[in-house]
Chains A and B, each alone.
Chain A
Amino acid sequence: MKNLLDRRKFLKGGLASGVLASVLGTGKKAFAEHSFGGYPNSMGVLVDLSKCIGCRTCEAACNKEQEMPAPDKPFDDMSVFDEIRHGQKRRTSEKTHTVVNRYDVPGHDGPVFRKFQCNHCNEPGCLSSCFVNAYTKTPEGAVVYNEKVCVGCRTCMIACPFYVPAYKYSSPINPVITKCKMCYDTRLKNGRPPACVEACPQEVMTFGKRRDLIKLGHERIQKNPGKYIDHIYGEKEVGGTAWMYLSSVPFAEVGFNTELGDQPIVNYVKEFLTVVPMVLTIWPALFTGFHLLAKRKENQKESQKATTPSDRNA
């Protein structure tokens, strides 16, 4: 955790204070100062941690739906909850878009489980940091990624406040980032709930319009006095996220970063982004070579042509 935090602080602190950046003025991307707040009718998911029993059915459902590689252990093997890598609990990786982790919270009866995946931010750090526009926030609420455009620079991995995007090390020639798509292609765009949401036996996750879910979340808190922490994580954090959480234990106890603030990540990095063309066009060149970059630019043009205007404008 420490290591990663430092990486982010580097981006946030080091670059936001960069005098050079302000001198260079506005970059290609114009960002509003205030929070955009998301598309009015976008969908979301409210995850109620107090209902999760840690059965990992959601992980299995995601693996199937997204045709992910075989897991290292069966999905009904609960020993994964004891796995610690580099001092951390399991995280999203090239093999999985979502993980459930177990937390033993002092003073709380029994373990608390937390399902985690991309939060599909209203103003995604991954999207705003990507200089080839590989990411799109769809009007339905999903943040999707286009691997044809990606040059594999991995800036999005650092820019994401939740450390969600994972790098597919198993495909070094063709750089690919993997992350939860909110089942956009297979479900969301056809008005269907994500696979993990539907599979969960406890209905831990409620799918609906984001603004309805916020109302519902506050109602649930109010109607069950003493049961929940009076906060919906993701309602305001980093400018709001499509996936939001209710918990009966303090969020910091179950792996949430409660110090992110309500400002979208883009507000910290936008000055940095004005120098992106200068800095970052060199990185991918180092990683992938100029040829590959040129090829991808072409791909990008093609895919832009192929995208419908409504996708682009929305």
Chain B
Amino acid sequence: MSKKFITAWLALLALMMLNVQPAQSMEGPDTATLDSLTDLFAPVSFNHAMHVDVVANDCAVCHHHTTGTKVTDERCARCHKNSGEANSVACRDCHNANPFSAENLQKIADAELLFHTDKPGLKGAYHRKCLGCHQEMGAPTACENCHTKTEKGEAFYRSGKFAPTPGKEPASE
């Protein structure tokens, strides 16, 4: 537990200085801290290097065509067969953190030629990508395998010290 905690902190410190750690075998960080949506859960320390191994260096498994690798999904290939590297590989630069905000809905409505009208938001993109693969490969799939609840999170889920006890009013936030 504490070891994990230290790793997370180190990763966070590294990110604060560099945003990413220097590459080893592949271009890309060894660890990435996913913390842009942190609220109910502590930041997730994502072992990027290990996942690069798992997908045998095929960046496109997660990064679509953005790293310059050829797309594998035929639905994407229809347009992106010859697409090169994108300006950014960060998920959040394409997947909106507030996909259903009035502004974003308006933006989609206004862009008549927009093809990606069904693009998931950031949280949806993370979970569908990660969990989809974890399910397929038999990797852990329970929420707590990746997420530690913050105190606010425990209050939200009414779990931990906020759990209801039969016949007693539970603690409030």
Residues of A in contact with B (beta carbons under 8 Å apart): 51, 53, 55, 57, 60-61, 63-64, 70-77, 110, 191-193, 197-198, 200-203, 206-209, 212, 216, 219-220, 223
Supposing A71-B164, A73-B164, A212-B109 touch, asked if A193 and B156 sit within 8 A by C-beta, the answer is no
CA gap between A223 and B79 in the complex, in Å: 14
CA gap between A299 and B171 in the complex, in Å: 36
Size of the B side of the interface (Cβ < 8 Å), in residues, is 30
Contact for B158 among A70, A193, A209, CB less than 8 A: A70
Contact, CB under 8 Å: A74 / B128: no
CB distance from B3 to the nearest CB of A (A): 25
Chain B residues within an 8 Å CB radius of A55: 143
Other contacts beyond A192-B101, A219-B117: 4, CB < 8 A: A72-B166, A75-B159, A201-B143, A223-B75
Residues of B in contact with A (beta carbons under 8 Å apart): 75, 99-102, 105, 109, 117-118, 120-121, 123-125, 127-128, 131, 135, 141, 143, 156-159, 162-164, 166, 169-170
CA gap between A202 and B109 in the complex, in Å: 23
CA gap between A193 and B99 in the complex, in Å: 10
Chain A residues within an 8 Å CB radius of B121: 203
Chain A residues within an 8 Å CB radius of B143: 55, 76, 201
Chain B residues within an 8 Å CB radius of A202: 124, 127-128, 131
Contact for A76 among B131, B135, B157, CB less than 8 A: B157
Chain A residues within an 8 Å CB radius of B99: 203
| CB nearest to B149 among chain A residues | A76
CA gap between A51 and B162 in the complex, in Å: 29
Contact, CB under 8 Å: B163 / A74: yes
Contact, CB under 8 Å: A216 / B131: no
